[in-house]
Amino acid sequence: MKKLLILVTCEESQAVTKAFRALGHEAYSNDIIECSGGHPEWHLQMDALKALKLKKWDLIIAFPPCTYLTISANKWYKDQPARKSGALVGEARRQARREAIKFFMEFVNADCEHIAIENPVGIMSTKWRKPNQIVQPYQFGQPESKKTCLWLKGLPNLIHTNVLPKPACGYWANQTSDGQNKVLVDGKWIAYNDPRTASLRSKTYKGIAEAMAWQWSEYLS
C-alpha cells in the first residue's frame, strides 16, 4: 500500500488520524486547540488555512465547525433581543454564518486532488451543492444515529461495512425514547450546553473513521 501524506483538519480527537496511522500513513490532525487523542506528535496546532498550505497533501479530510452551518436554531437568525446565554442572534449570527460558509469553501478550493469534507445536514447543500453521500454510524457497525454528510473530490463514496438493524425499542443507543440525539457520559445524558457536548458530538465514530482509512487508502494506492 502506498504511504500517503494526509491532513485531517479541524480534528482534535484524532479519531480519523489514528485510523490512517494504523495503516502506516503519515497522517496529521490539525486544530487551533490541543489534541485529545493522545498523540501530540501527530498534531498540527495551528490555523487550518495555514495547514492546508504547509505541505503537498495527498489527501485532505476536513471537519469544519458546524455551529452556523447546521439547519438547527434557524429561528435565531431573525432579528431579536440579545439572549442571556450569549448565543449570537440576528445580524451577528447571520455574519457568523457568512464567515462559516467562507471557511467551508476554503477546503472546497484547497490545492489537493483528493478532498473529503464532513458536516451535518445543513445549508451547504443549497449554498454550494448537495453532498455526495450521507452516512450513519449504524451502517458501520455502531448502534448509534448521527446523519453525516460527505462532500467528496477525487474519492469514492464509502461502502457500508456492517449495517445494523434498528433496535426493537425503536431508538438508537445515543437517543432518548422520543428519538432525540444526545450525549451519554457515565450512564447519564448531558445537556446540550455542557462544555463537553460539542467535542464529544463532533468526534468521528470509530467505524466510519476505519472505513475512511481502509477504503480511501486502497483507492489512492
Please give the residue range of the domain that contains residue 168: 5-220
DSSP H or E run through 210: helix 206-220
| pLDDT, tens only, 7-32 | 999 999 999 999 999 999 999 999 99
CA atoms of 58 and 142, how far apart (whole Å):
29
Mean pLDDT calculated for residue range 90-110: 98
User: What was the pLDDT predicted at 137?
Assistant: 97
In degrees, rounded to 5, the angle at the alpha carbon of residue 13 between the alpha carbons of residues 12 and 19 is 120
The CATH number given to whatever domain includes residue 157 is 3.40.50
Overall domain count for the chain: 1
Which cell numbers in the block locate residue 1? 500500500
Report if pTM > 0.75.
yes
DSSP H or E run through 17: helix 15-21
| pLDDT, tens only, 145-185 | 999 999 999 999 999 999 999 999 988 887 777 767 766 56
